[in-house]
Amino acid sequence: MPDAAGTTRRRRYLQAMQVDVWLSRERSPQAPAESAVAVPASSERHASSANTDTPTIVDPAGTIDVAEVAAMPLAELEATVAGCQRCPLHSGRTRTVFGTGAADARCMIIGEAPGAEEDLRGEPFVGRAGQLLNAMLRAIGFSREAVYIANILKCRPPRNRDPKPEEMVACSPYLRRQIALVKPRVILAVGRVAAQYLVGSTLAIGRMRGQSYFYENSDDGARIPVVATYHPAYLLRSPLEKRKSWEDLRRARQLLEANP
Ligand code: URA
Protein backbone atom coordinates (compact mmCIF):
# COMPACT_ATOMS: atom_id res chain seq x y z
CA MET A 1 0.00 0.00 0.00
CA PRO A 2 1.57 3.34 -1.00
CA ASP A 3 2.02 6.11 1.57
CA ALA A 4 0.10 9.40 1.48
CA ALA A 5 2.66 11.03 -0.85
CA GLY A 6 2.40 8.05 -3.22
CA THR A 7 -1.38 8.29 -3.17
CA THR A 8 -1.30 11.99 -3.98
CA ARG A 9 1.21 11.43 -6.78
CA ARG A 10 -0.92 8.65 -8.28
CA ARG A 11 -4.01 10.84 -8.16
CA ARG A 12 -2.10 13.66 -9.87
CA TYR A 13 -0.94 11.28 -12.64
CA LEU A 14 -4.45 9.98 -13.24
CA GLN A 15 -5.83 13.50 -13.34
CA ALA A 16 -3.11 14.49 -15.82
CA MET A 17 -4.43 11.72 -18.08
CA GLN A 18 -7.97 13.03 -17.52
CA VAL A 19 -8.93 9.81 -15.72
CA ASP A 20 -11.76 10.37 -13.26
CA VAL A 21 -10.60 9.64 -9.73
CA TRP A 22 -13.45 8.25 -7.64
CA LEU A 23 -13.10 8.51 -3.90
CA SER A 24 -14.86 5.69 -2.05
CA ARG A 25 -15.82 6.00 1.61
CA GLU A 26 -14.95 2.35 2.23
CA ARG A 27 -11.80 1.97 0.15
CA SER A 28 -8.77 4.06 -0.48
CA PRO A 29 -8.78 5.67 -3.97
CA GLN A 30 -5.70 3.87 -5.19
CA ALA A 31 -6.97 0.36 -4.50
CA PRO A 32 -8.41 -0.53 -7.94
CA ALA A 33 -5.37 0.63 -9.88
CA GLU A 34 -3.03 -0.93 -7.36
CA SER A 35 -4.55 -4.39 -7.64
CA ALA A 36 -4.56 -4.24 -11.42
CA VAL A 37 -0.95 -3.11 -11.57
CA ALA A 38 0.06 -6.04 -9.40
CA VAL A 39 -0.57 -8.44 -12.31
CA PRO A 40 2.86 -8.90 -13.85
CA ALA A 41 3.77 -9.47 -17.46
CA SER A 42 2.98 -13.13 -17.66
CA SER A 43 4.55 -14.51 -20.77
CA GLU A 44 7.52 -13.79 -22.90
CA ARG A 45 7.41 -14.07 -26.65
CA HIS A 46 10.26 -13.97 -29.05
CA ALA A 47 8.95 -13.04 -32.40
CA SER A 48 10.85 -12.04 -35.44
CA SER A 49 9.13 -8.86 -36.42
CA ALA A 50 8.21 -7.10 -39.60
CA ASN A 51 11.37 -5.10 -39.01
CA THR A 52 13.38 -7.93 -40.51
CA ASP A 53 11.27 -8.22 -43.65
CA THR A 54 12.85 -7.73 -46.98
CA PRO A 55 10.77 -5.20 -48.89
CA THR A 56 8.79 -7.05 -51.53
CA ILE A 57 7.46 -4.12 -53.46
CA VAL A 58 9.39 -2.57 -56.24
CA ASP A 59 10.60 0.95 -55.74
CA PRO A 60 9.25 2.37 -58.99
CA ALA A 61 11.21 5.58 -58.94
CA GLY A 62 14.32 3.85 -57.61
CA THR A 63 14.36 6.44 -54.85
CA ILE A 64 16.26 4.51 -52.22
CA ASP A 65 18.85 1.86 -51.75
CA VAL A 66 17.81 -0.16 -48.70
CA ALA A 67 21.40 -0.96 -47.78
CA GLU A 68 22.27 2.74 -47.87
CA VAL A 69 19.29 3.55 -45.68
CA ALA A 70 20.54 1.03 -43.11
CA ALA A 71 23.73 3.08 -42.74
CA MET A 72 22.29 6.62 -42.82
CA PRO A 73 22.53 9.18 -40.01
CA LEU A 74 19.20 10.59 -38.81
CA ALA A 75 19.26 13.87 -40.77
CA GLU A 76 20.02 12.11 -44.05
CA LEU A 77 17.35 9.54 -43.30
CA GLU A 78 14.79 12.31 -42.77
CA ALA A 79 15.75 13.95 -46.07
CA THR A 80 15.46 10.58 -47.82
CA VAL A 81 12.00 9.99 -46.35
CA ALA A 82 10.93 13.46 -47.53
CA GLY A 83 11.59 12.38 -51.12
CA CYS A 84 10.36 8.79 -50.82
CA GLN A 85 8.16 7.32 -53.54
CA ARG A 86 8.36 3.68 -52.55
CA CYS A 87 4.59 3.22 -52.29
CA PRO A 88 1.52 4.94 -53.71
CA LEU A 89 0.86 6.87 -50.50
CA HIS A 90 3.43 9.46 -51.55
CA SER A 91 1.06 10.89 -54.15
CA GLY A 92 -1.56 11.84 -51.53
CA ARG A 93 0.65 13.34 -48.88
CA THR A 94 1.06 16.98 -47.98
CA ARG A 95 4.20 16.31 -45.94
CA THR A 96 6.04 13.23 -44.80
CA VAL A 97 5.95 12.67 -41.05
CA PHE A 98 9.36 11.42 -40.07
CA GLY A 99 9.56 11.53 -36.28
CA THR A 100 10.34 13.92 -33.50
CA GLY A 101 12.05 14.10 -30.13
CA ALA A 102 15.39 13.31 -28.57
CA ALA A 103 17.72 11.41 -30.89
CA ASP A 104 19.08 9.53 -27.86
CA ALA A 105 15.74 9.01 -26.11
CA ARG A 106 15.47 6.08 -23.73
CA CYS A 107 11.79 5.68 -24.56
CA MET A 108 10.43 5.50 -28.10
CA ILE A 109 6.73 5.81 -28.88
CA ILE A 110 5.56 4.15 -32.08
CA GLY A 111 2.17 4.68 -33.68
CA GLU A 112 0.78 3.53 -36.99
CA ALA A 113 0.53 6.41 -39.45
CA PRO A 114 -0.03 10.15 -39.68
CA GLY A 115 -3.55 11.54 -39.60
CA ALA A 116 -4.84 14.71 -41.23
CA GLU A 117 -3.26 17.15 -38.78
CA GLU A 118 0.07 15.32 -38.83
CA ASP A 119 0.07 15.28 -42.64
CA LEU A 120 -0.35 19.08 -42.65
CA ARG A 121 2.26 19.79 -40.00
CA GLY A 122 4.81 17.08 -40.73
CA GLU A 123 4.95 15.99 -37.09
CA PRO A 124 3.59 12.83 -35.43
CA PHE A 125 0.78 12.91 -32.88
CA VAL A 126 -0.15 16.58 -33.00
CA GLY A 127 -3.93 16.18 -33.29
CA ARG A 128 -6.35 15.39 -30.47
CA ALA A 129 -4.85 11.95 -29.98
CA GLY A 130 -1.47 13.64 -29.70
CA GLN A 131 -2.71 15.95 -26.95
CA LEU A 132 -3.79 12.93 -24.99
CA LEU A 133 -0.50 11.16 -25.69
CA ASN A 134 1.33 14.21 -24.29
CA ALA A 135 -0.82 14.05 -21.15
CA MET A 136 -0.13 10.33 -20.83
CA LEU A 137 3.60 10.93 -21.11
CA ARG A 138 3.47 13.70 -18.53
CA ALA A 139 1.64 11.30 -16.26
CA ILE A 140 4.74 9.11 -16.08
CA GLY A 141 7.10 12.04 -15.83
CA PHE A 142 8.17 12.39 -19.48
CA SER A 143 7.96 15.44 -21.64
CA ARG A 144 7.25 15.01 -25.33
CA GLU A 145 10.76 16.33 -26.04
CA ALA A 146 12.43 13.68 -23.86
CA VAL A 147 11.06 10.74 -25.86
CA TYR A 148 11.27 9.93 -29.56
CA ILE A 149 7.96 9.62 -31.42
CA ALA A 150 7.55 7.97 -34.80
CA ASN A 151 5.08 5.99 -36.87
CA ILE A 152 5.34 2.85 -38.96
CA LEU A 153 4.18 4.78 -42.03
CA LYS A 154 5.62 8.17 -42.85
CA CYS A 155 2.74 9.16 -45.16
CA ARG A 156 -0.94 9.48 -44.37
CA PRO A 157 -3.21 6.71 -45.68
CA PRO A 158 -6.37 8.05 -47.37
CA ARG A 159 -9.24 8.68 -44.95
CA ASN A 160 -7.01 7.37 -42.13
CA ARG A 161 -7.59 3.77 -43.12
CA ASP A 162 -5.34 1.10 -41.63
CA PRO A 163 -1.91 0.76 -43.23
CA LYS A 164 -1.72 -2.01 -45.84
CA PRO A 165 0.90 -4.74 -45.32
CA GLU A 166 2.76 -3.75 -48.47
CA GLU A 167 2.89 -0.11 -47.32
CA MET A 168 4.37 -1.19 -44.00
CA VAL A 169 6.96 -3.32 -45.78
CA ALA A 170 7.85 -0.43 -48.08
CA CYS A 171 8.31 1.94 -45.14
CA SER A 172 10.03 -0.57 -42.83
CA PRO A 173 13.67 0.35 -43.63
CA TYR A 174 13.03 3.85 -42.24
CA LEU A 175 11.60 2.86 -38.89
CA ARG A 176 14.15 0.07 -38.55
CA ARG A 177 16.94 2.61 -39.03
CA GLN A 178 15.31 5.10 -36.64
CA ILE A 179 15.17 2.45 -33.91
CA ALA A 180 18.76 1.41 -34.61
CA LEU A 181 19.95 5.02 -34.28
CA VAL A 182 17.92 6.06 -31.26
CA LYS A 183 18.57 2.76 -29.44
CA PRO A 184 15.71 3.17 -26.97
CA ARG A 185 15.64 1.09 -23.79
CA VAL A 186 11.92 0.59 -24.13
CA ILE A 187 9.39 0.95 -26.95
CA LEU A 188 5.79 1.91 -26.24
CA ALA A 189 3.66 0.59 -29.10
CA VAL A 190 0.41 2.53 -29.22
CA GLY A 191 -2.47 0.67 -30.82
CA ARG A 192 -2.98 -2.71 -32.40
CA VAL A 193 -1.30 -2.00 -35.71
CA ALA A 194 1.98 -0.81 -34.20
CA ALA A 195 2.07 -3.46 -31.49
CA GLN A 196 1.36 -6.34 -33.88
CA TYR A 197 3.86 -5.05 -36.42
CA LEU A 198 6.72 -4.56 -33.98
CA VAL A 199 6.56 -8.02 -32.43
CA GLY A 200 4.97 -10.05 -35.22
CA SER A 201 1.78 -10.83 -33.27
CA THR A 202 -1.79 -11.24 -34.47
CA LEU A 203 -3.38 -10.85 -31.04
CA ALA A 204 -5.90 -8.12 -30.25
CA ILE A 205 -4.38 -5.18 -28.40
CA GLY A 206 -6.40 -6.00 -25.29
CA ARG A 207 -4.69 -9.43 -25.23
CA MET A 208 -1.24 -7.97 -25.88
CA ARG A 209 -1.42 -5.55 -22.97
CA GLY A 210 0.52 -6.69 -19.93
CA GLN A 211 2.50 -9.27 -21.89
CA SER A 212 6.25 -9.17 -22.25
CA TYR A 213 7.46 -8.67 -25.82
CA PHE A 214 10.66 -7.70 -27.54
CA TYR A 215 11.48 -5.92 -30.77
CA GLU A 216 14.33 -7.83 -32.34
CA ASN A 217 16.59 -6.86 -35.20
CA SER A 218 19.09 -9.49 -36.24
CA ASP A 219 21.10 -6.88 -38.21
CA ASP A 220 22.32 -5.13 -35.08
CA GLY A 221 21.35 -7.67 -32.40
CA ALA A 222 18.79 -5.31 -30.86
CA ARG A 223 16.36 -6.83 -28.39
CA ILE A 224 14.26 -4.04 -26.96
CA PRO A 225 11.30 -4.53 -24.60
CA VAL A 226 7.98 -3.50 -26.17
CA VAL A 227 5.03 -2.40 -24.05
CA ALA A 228 1.75 -2.59 -25.94
CA THR A 229 -1.01 -0.20 -25.05
CA TYR A 230 -4.18 1.31 -26.45
CA HIS A 231 -3.99 3.99 -29.12
CA PRO A 232 -4.82 7.44 -27.73
CA ALA A 233 -7.48 7.86 -30.45
CA TYR A 234 -9.22 4.80 -29.00
CA LEU A 235 -8.90 6.24 -25.50
CA LEU A 236 -10.63 9.41 -26.67
CA ARG A 237 -13.59 7.23 -27.66
CA SER A 238 -13.33 4.95 -24.62
CA PRO A 239 -12.11 7.11 -21.74
CA LEU A 240 -12.78 4.38 -19.18
CA GLU A 241 -9.81 2.47 -20.63
CA LYS A 242 -7.38 5.28 -19.79
CA ARG A 243 -6.67 3.73 -16.46
CA LYS A 244 -5.38 0.57 -18.19
CA SER A 245 -3.12 2.66 -20.39
CA TRP A 246 -1.79 4.39 -17.34
CA GLU A 247 -0.86 0.96 -15.96
CA ASP A 248 0.94 0.17 -19.24
CA LEU A 249 2.87 3.42 -19.06
CA ARG A 250 3.85 2.71 -15.50
CA ARG A 251 5.18 -0.64 -16.65
CA ALA A 252 7.22 1.09 -19.35
CA ARG A 253 8.66 3.42 -16.75
CA GLN A 254 9.46 0.49 -14.47
CA LEU A 255 11.31 -1.23 -17.32
CA LEU A 256 13.36 1.93 -17.81
CA GLU A 257 14.13 2.17 -14.13
CA ALA A 258 15.28 -1.47 -14.17
CA ASN A 259 17.46 -0.82 -17.21
CA PRO A 260 18.96 2.66 -16.81
N1 URA B 1 -2.14 8.27 -35.03
C2 URA B 1 -0.95 7.66 -35.18
O3 URA B 1 -0.83 6.45 -35.09
N4 URA B 1 0.09 8.46 -35.44
C5 URA B 1 0.02 9.78 -35.54
O6 URA B 1 1.04 10.43 -35.75
C7 URA B 1 -1.24 10.38 -35.36
C8 URA B 1 -2.31 9.61 -35.10
User: What are 169-178's pLDDT values in tens digits?
Assistant: 999 999 999 9
Regarding beta strands 107-111 and 100-101, do their DSSP bridges make them parallel or antiparallel, or are they unpaired?
A: unpaired
- Our answer on whether the CB atom of 232 is closer than 6 Å to any ligand 1 atom is no
The single-letter code of the amino acid at 136 is M
- The finding on whether 113 has its CB within 6 A of some atom of ligand 1 is yes
pLDDT score, position 83: 95
Is ligand 1 within 6 A of the CB of residue 118? yes
Cα(115) to ligand 1 centroid in Å equals: 6
CATH architecture of the domain with residue range 58-258: 3-Layer(aba) Sandwich (3.40)
Mutation choice for ligand 1 from 94, 97, 151, 198, CB with most ligand atoms inside 8 A = 151
Verify whether ligand 1 is closer than 6 Å to residue 84 (CB atom). Answer: no
How many CB atoms sit inside 10 A of residue 199's CB? 25
Residue 35 pLDDT: 23
Ligand 1 geometric centre to CA of 243 (Å):
20
What pTM did the predictor assign? 0.81
- Residue ranges of the chain with per-residue pLDDT less than 50: 1, 21-58
14 lines ligand 1 (CB under 6 A): no
In this prediction, residue 260 carries a pLDDT of: 75
Question: Which helix (DSSP H) or strand (DSSP E) does residue 223 occupy?
Answer: strand 222-229
168 C-alpha to ligand 1 centroid (Å): 14
Q: 100 pairs with which residues across the strands?
A: 149
What is the rounded CA–CA span in Å between residue 177 and residue 69?
A: 7
Distance 111 CA to ligand 1 centre (A): 5
Strand order in the sheet with 107-111: 100-101, 148-151, 107-111, 186-190, 222-229, 213-217
Ligand 1 near 173 CB (within 6 A): no
- 64, 84 Cβ separation under 8 angstroms: yes
Q: Which atom of ligand 1 is nearest to the CA of 193?
A: 3
Q: Cα of 137 to ligand 1 centre, how many Å? A: 15
Cα 158–chain centre separation: 21
Residue 15's pLDDT is: 62
Reported as half-sphere exposure (CB side, CA atoms, 13 A), residue 138 has a value of 13
Q: Is 129 in the pocket of ligand 1 (CB under 6 A)?
A: yes
208 neighbors 195 (Cβ within 8 angstroms): yes
User: What ranges do the domains of the chain cover?
Assistant: 58-258
Q: Whose CA is nearest to atom 7 of ligand 1?
A: 125
CA-to-CA distance for 227 and 215, rounded, in angstroms? 10
The pLDDT assigned to 98 comes to: 98
